[in-house]
Amino acid sequence: MHPMLNIAVRAARSAGNVIARAFEQLDKVEVESKGTNDLVTNIDKQAEQVIIDTIRKAYPNHSIVGEEHGILEGEDTDYQWVIDPLDGTTNFVKGIPHFAVSIALKVKGKLDQAVIFDPIRGELFTASRGKGAQLNGFRIRVSNAKELSGTVLATGFPFKKKQHTDAYLNMFKAMFTKTADMRRAGSAALDLAYVAAGRVDGFFEIGLKPWDTAAGELLVVEAGGLVSDFAGGNNHAKSGNIVAGSTKVLREILKDIRPFLGDSLNK
Ligand code: IPD
Ligand code: CA
Ligand code: CA
Ligand code: CA
């Protein structure tokens, strides 16, 4: 295993332990609001601190961007870690056992290493640039669906940005009528990991943040799939509007989204 992936795995497992232990005593968790329908807990912050400490100990000069601590510039800006300590905070707070730790490393702006860890199921998704993607050490690949008929797509609702409801529902309708079914499980990181593992055939969501998608993007690509913005380009890290799937599924989704791209929904 690449030494930097090894550190990412160690950090994700340590954070996962913090989260899993706290999940057993949810009444002790302190919940705050960061904005409309946007929760954060002391456990999100603790888990992020554990990840930062693990990375800093191994690589004191690297830069780190975390959802809760923001940007921590290191002397070496070529190496940037992008972390979401707890993806699926709403599930966590509600006692729904579906959330994950997501850690990615970018080298000179390119995704290089990725880990998504589900501490409840003990599932560890890993990828290294050019080396494929694995689940608990076994190679995974995206589904081989060729059309939307028969597919199950994962998605996320724009619950923090309800002004996008109509645009989102139009897109949803266009796709729902063609697919077998849809899943809204509540963790974008796991949605992308599940695309990589072929458990769902594709994924789309509006308004995500870089830490929601960085590790998942490398997993999907290394599992043989594609990730893009709503116009098929690579603006998704900026816009947060993201589509993922196999080449064929992605092409079909983009075709269905196209009519809704406009003022309220950019690429
Ligand atoms: C959220 C989850 C959710 C998605 C939201 C994200 P968080 O991340 O990934 O599935 O729909 O847009 O913000 O805040 O729980 O880390
Ligand atoms: Ca959050
Ligand atoms: Ca997140
Ligand atoms: Ca989070």
The complex's ipTM works out to: 0.98
CATH for 152-260 is 3.40.190.80
Per-chain mean pLDDT for the chain:
96
Token pair listed for 98: 């579906």
Count of beta carbons in the 10 Å neighbourhood of residue 37: 12
| Ligand that lies nearest to the alpha carbon of residue 214, given by its number in the listed order | 3
Q: Residue 200: which of 190, 215, 211, 213 has the closest Cα?
A: 190
pLDDT score of 263: 60
Q: Which of 187, 204, 211 has the most ligand 1 atoms within 8 A of CB, as the residue to mutate?
A: 187
pLDDT tens per residue, range 237-256: 999 999 999 999 999 999 99
The whole-number average pLDDT for the span 110-130 is 98
- The secondary structure of the chain in percent helix, strand, coil, rounded to multiples of 5, reads 40, 30, 35
Ligand 1 pocket check for 187: Cβ under 6 Å: yes
Q: Is the pLDDT of residue 57 over 80?
A: yes
pLDDT tens per residue, range 211-231: 999 999 999 999 999 999 999
Q: Report the nearest atom of ligand 1 relative to the CA of 185.
A: 10
Ligand 1 pocket check for 225: Cβ under 6 Å: no
Annotated binding-site ranges: 67, 84, 86-87, 212
pLDDT score of 108: 98
pLDDT tens per residue, range 4-49: 999 999 999 999 999 999 999 999 999 999 998 999 999 999 999 9
CATH for 3-140 is 3.30.540.10
Look-up: residue for tokens 């890290």? 237
Ligand 1 pocket check for 240: Cβ under 6 Å: no
- pTM for the model stands at 0.98
Ligand 1 pocket check for 68: Cβ under 6 Å: no
Q: Is the pLDDT of residue 132 over 90?
A: yes
| Cα separation, 14 vs 119, whole angstroms | 10
pLDDT score of 163: 87
| Cα separation, 187 vs 192, whole angstroms | 9
| Cα separation, 141 vs 120, whole angstroms | 22
Q: Is the pLDDT of residue 265 over 80?
A: no
Residue 150 alpha carbon to ligand 4 centre in Å: 32
| Cα separation, 143 vs 223, whole angstroms | 9
Place 260 in a pLDDT band, splitting at 50, 70 and 90. confident
Look-up: residue for tokens 């269905």? 256
CA 149 to mean position of chain CA atoms: 25
pLDDT tens per residue, range 144-198: 999 999 999 999 999 988 888 998 999 999 999 999 999 999 999 999 999 999 9
Q: What type of residue sits at position 25?
A: Q
Q: Do residues 260 and 167 make contact, with C-beta atoms less than 8 angstroms apart?
A: yes
Non-local (6+) Cβ contacts of 148 within 8 A are 175, 178, 179, 249, 252, 253, 256
Q: Is the pLDDT of residue 258 over 90?
A: no
pLDDT score of 161: 87
Ligand 1 pocket check for 88: Cβ under 6 Å: yes
* Domains of the chain, residue spans: 3-140, 152-260
Place 266 in a pLDDT band, splitting at 50, 70 and 90. confident
Q: What are the distances in angstroms from CA 14 to CA 56, 125, 138, 237?
A: 14, 15, 22, 27
| Cα separation, 85 vs 42, whole angstroms | 11
Q: What is the β-pairing status of strands 62-66 and 76-87? A: parallel
Q: Do residues 187 and 88 make contact, with C-beta atoms less than 8 angstroms apart?
A: yes
Q: Report the nearest atom of ligand 1 relative to the CA of 38.
A: 14
pLDDT score of 267: 82
Beta strands of 88-195 (E only): which ranges? 100-107, 110-118, 123-128, 133-135, 138-140, 152-155, 181-183
| Cα separation, 214 vs 106, whole angstroms | 9
Ligand 1 pocket check for 102: Cβ under 6 Å: no
pLDDT score of 264: 67
Place 121 in a pLDDT band, splitting at 50, 70 and 90. very high
Q: What type of residue sits at position 42?
A: N
Instruction: Please tell me what DSSP assigns to residue 28.
Output: G
Q: What is the β-pairing status of strands 181-183 and 152-155? A: parallel
| Ligand that lies nearest to the alpha carbon of residue 187, given by its number in the listed order | 1
Residue 239 alpha carbon to ligand 3 centre in Å: 15
pLDDT score of 54: 98
Look-up: residue for tokens 């309800």? 162
